[in-house]
Amino acid sequence: MNIMKFGGTSVGSAERMMAVARLAASYPGTKIIVLSAMSGTTNNLLEIADYLTKKNTDAAHEKINLLEKKYRTVAGELFTEAQARKAALELLKDHFSYIRSFTRDLFTSNELKCIVAQGELLSTALFELYCRENGVDAVMLPALNFMRIDREQEPDQFYIKENLQREMEKYPGKTFFITQGFICRNAFGEIDNLKRGGSDYSASLIGVAINASAIQIWTDIDGFHDNDPRYVQNTHAIAELSFDEAAELAYFGAKILHPSTILPAKVAGIPVIIKNTLDPEAAGSAITDKVSGKGIKAIAAKDGITAIRVKSGRMLLAYGFMRKVFEVFEIYKTPIDMITTSEISISLTIDDTTRLSRIVDDLKHYGSVETDHDQTIISAVGEGIAEGSDAARLVFTALSGIPVRMISYGGSQHNISILIPSSFKSQALNALSAHLFNH
């Protein structure tokens, strides 16, 4: 069994949706098609939710009307036959009157998640209708019936497996399943999601739950590139990556994959294949347990980082100090990305600043605290590069002239990470590509 996940651009217009239906139907065997919302929709829904939070009902209505108009156009293009078009317009009416129903109610983060979930619910409903209209015996597996996160916001893999299997058993002999990426229920049974870009993660969790032979991530580019193509012109697709390399790159900002996608696939040993919907014949990238090639394979960047330095009056290495510092982050459930230490100080980075002021207040018990905002982690990744190769020399030569705030080497064998001010990000990415890959 295969998982085929199609991202926002891949289902971003009627034309793209039709192409996806053809592509999925042309693949042999049983498959679960995981769809994102049409590109732009999640952002639009978040804007609507933002207006509703601010009680700006008129602006929310205006946005809802615009979005509905867009979907009515898509429906018109997808369905030429009167009966099907009527069914599609009915379907849109239901979804949009549901969205409008919130303009009268008290609006909390729960309501926000219900609104945001409409993106994937809309794309899959239209896609299912289109497939059925075109003779594909498509079956919907509602993600809200099986995808679940626990109290720690972590996927409940046991629940997902049990419930997905139960859903599928309702349809013996069927081979073409459709489900929503991104959306799930939380520990309280409420509608929730796997965070931005989460459809990749859905695909991976579903792949593991049904022990798929491969998890295919279909997107708008011909594979995992050696640098971020939004900042660097001359980037190249990488044919093969190991799970560890891809996991480091995704975690450290490569937008092509949600940061948590790789781990479940790695544990289950299921290959993740990245393919281009716009060019299905292109080889793409295969992410497996195989290690291939040498040296630095790719660069990724993670923005929105805050660095915190705690400077103690006394020697840091007195035991117990680190524990106390880390405990503060544990209390406020804030993950740390990078750490460096000196004799009397420790620097750490976080990307979730929701509880920063309380973290800083607590850290002040242990010394003086400085924070630097608008930082970027640049990571160079390749199997074994932080084990005595000359990768570090190459990275620092490329970055000469760029102010470096922190360096992390040796934490993982596969990653060298550097913290720089975000204003130098583009310069750093381009310098690294020029120096490492394009000479």
Which residues of the chain form contacts with ligand ADP (CB under 6 A)? 7-10, 36, 197, 219-221, 224-225, 228-230, 254-256, 298
Residue 254: name its binding partner from ligand ASP, Mg ion, ligand ADP, none (Cβ under 5 to 8 Å by kind): ligand ADP
CB of 402 to ligand ASP, least distance (A): 31
Closer to ligand ASP by Cβ: residue 42 or 288: 42
* Dist. CA 220–CA 45, nearest whole Å: 22
CB of 333 to ligand ADP, least distance (A): 26
Binding to ligand ASP (CB under 6 A): which residues in 176-215? Answer: 181-182, 196-199
37: contact with ligand ASP by CB under 6 A: yes
Say how many C-beta atoms besides its own lie within 10 A of residue 351's C-beta: 16
Binding to ligand ASP (CB under 6 A): which residues in 94-153? Answer: 119
207: contact with Mg ion by CB under 5 A: no
Closer to ligand ASP by Cβ: residue 119 or 382: 119
* Dist. CA 203–CA 215, nearest whole Å: 7
Closer to ligand ADP by Cβ: residue 252 or 321: 252
Rounded to a whole number of angstroms, the CA Rg of the chain reads 23
Closer to ligand ASP by Cβ: residue 198 or 259: 198
Binding mask 7-26 for ligand ASP (x = CB under 6 A): xx------------------
- Runs of H (alpha helix) within 269-355: 321-331
- Runs of H (alpha helix) within 102-224: 109-116, 118-133, 157-169, 199-209
With beta carbons less than 8 A apart as the criterion, state whether 145 and 167 touch: yes
Region for 304 from its dihedrals, namely left if φ exceeds 0, alpha if ψ lies in -120 to 50, beta otherwise: left
Sign of CA dihedral 400, 403, 409, 414: negative
CB of 124 to ligand ASP, least distance (A): 11
Closer to Mg ion by Cβ: residue 42 or 408: 42
**Running DSSP on this structure, what letter comes out for residue 422?**
G
With beta carbons less than 8 A apart as the criterion, state whether 368 and 389 touch: no
Residue 228: name its binding partner from ligand ADP, ligand ASP, Mg ion, none (Cβ under 5 to 8 Å by kind): ligand ADP
Binding to Mg ion (CB under 5 A): which residues in 309-348? Answer: none
Closer to Mg ion by Cβ: residue 37 or 381: 37
CB of 322 to Mg ion, least distance (A): 36
Say how many C-beta atoms besides its own lie within 10 A of residue 268's C-beta: 15
Sign of CA dihedral 349, 351, 353, 355: negative
CB of 308 to ligand ADP, least distance (A): 27
- Residue tagged 């620092």 (tokens): 396
Assign 346 to helix, strand or coil.
strand
197: contact with Mg ion by CB under 5 A: yes
**Running DSSP on this structure, what letter comes out for residue 144?**
G
Residue 230: name its binding partner from Mg ion, ligand ADP, ligand ASP, none (Cβ under 5 to 8 Å by kind): ligand ADP
Of 312, 306, 321, give the one whose Cα is nearest residue 345.
Answer: 312
Per CB under 5 A, residues contacting Mg ion are 7, 197
Per CB under 6 A, residues contacting ligand ASP are 7-8, 36-37, 42, 119, 181-182, 196-199
